[in-house]
Amino acid sequence: MRKTGRWLTAGALATAFAVGFTGTAWAGGVLPNGTAVSSTAAQGYAYTTSYDYWSVSAVQPSSGANDGLTLLNAGGGFAGGSDVGQDRTNFVAVDSNSGTEPFGTWYTQIVPHTAGSYWAEAQYGAKITTIPTPTHHGTTGAGDPDIAFSVLPGNQVVTVSDLYLTAGESFWASTSTAAQELYLLEATPGLSSTYVQGRSAAAAAQSTKVVDNCTLYTAKQTGWHALVLVGDTPLTGSSQAGIAIGIHQYDPSQPTYCPMADFPGATP
């Protein structure tokens, strides 16, 4: 399924700052797309949504630290938050697909609860994950073409991609602990409280279960979902390190068989 995108005017972000967010609380400026920035102080950042996708902003604390995240909308009103505790990454994702949140500027406020540095990052959204139709039984290993991947490089805080699912549709993730890192977010049509979700809300709302050494995810709604991947280990600075979770189509005729049960090895 294909998407089309629309850009906001080039001056939209600058205008938003000029209207009401020029104080020191927003001294962090624009939170760049796909690049982590570091600080030690309470700081405000902004990013702008421009496409019909989910977007996300996140903060990852240094070892032993605890940093919360609050997201405000373009008018300065509270939109969502995440505060999951020490040594854990907080994120808030926004659905800007048709019929949900309008395009605009979002203000990410980092709230340190302890001393220490943190990394903040935004992903504006422009990626789609497509799960291949299986061509054979089982998998031959991590390089099998029947497997898609959700990947978080070691120099990034968060990644997000859109995945189209119908209500009741399921897919496999390649580890039994995937639901602690990979979150399936979905918006309920007409229910605005689901258009912006923090990490705790996303965890509570997603439908997962562990079967055959894998995690099975199931959609409750039909539409564009978000796959948000985070880790709770401080950044390595290397794009070669990080997390890679395999994703495979679910076969309802074999509900207790995961074709990635022995991942990254072959599964017969």
**Model confidence over 147-178: pLDDT tens digits?**
999 999 999 999 999 999 999 999 999 999 99
pLDDT-derived band at 1 (thresholds 50, 70, 90) equals low
For residue range 32-74, list pLDDT tens digits in order. 999 999 999 999 999 999 889 999 999 999 999 999 999 999 9
Calpha distance 215→263 (Å, rounded) = 12
For residue range 172-216, list pLDDT tens digits in order. 999 999 999 999 999 999 999 999 999 999 999 999 999 999 999
- The token pair that represents 155 in the structure block: 């120099």
For residue 13, pLDDT over 90 is answered with: no
Closest by CA to 159, choosing from 175, 182, 142, 139, is: 182
For residue 30, pLDDT over 80 is answered with: yes
pLDDT of residue 236: 78
Mean pLDDT over the full length of the chain: 90
How far CA 51 is from CA of 54, 55, 103, 161, 163, in Å, comes to 8, 9, 7, 12, 15
Chain mean position to CA 9? 25
Q: For 161, how many CA atoms within 13 A lie in the half-sphere containing its CB?
A: 16
**Residues above pLDDT 90, as percent of the chain:** 84
Q: Where are the alpha helices (DSSP H) in the chain?
A: 12-20, 199-205
For residue range 69-103, list pLDDT tens digits in order. 999 999 999 999 999 999 999 999 999 998 999 89
Task: Using DSSP bridges, classify how beta strands 29-30 and 43-49 pair: parallel, antiparallel or unpaired.
Answer: parallel
- The token pair that represents 23 in the structure block: 């104080």
Single pTM value for the model = 0.91
Calpha distance 74→54 (Å, rounded) = 17
20: how many CB neighbours lie within 10 A of its CB? 12
* Average pLDDT of the residues in 217-246: 91
Residues 6+ apart with CB under 8 A from 15: none
174: how many CB neighbours lie within 10 A of its CB? 27
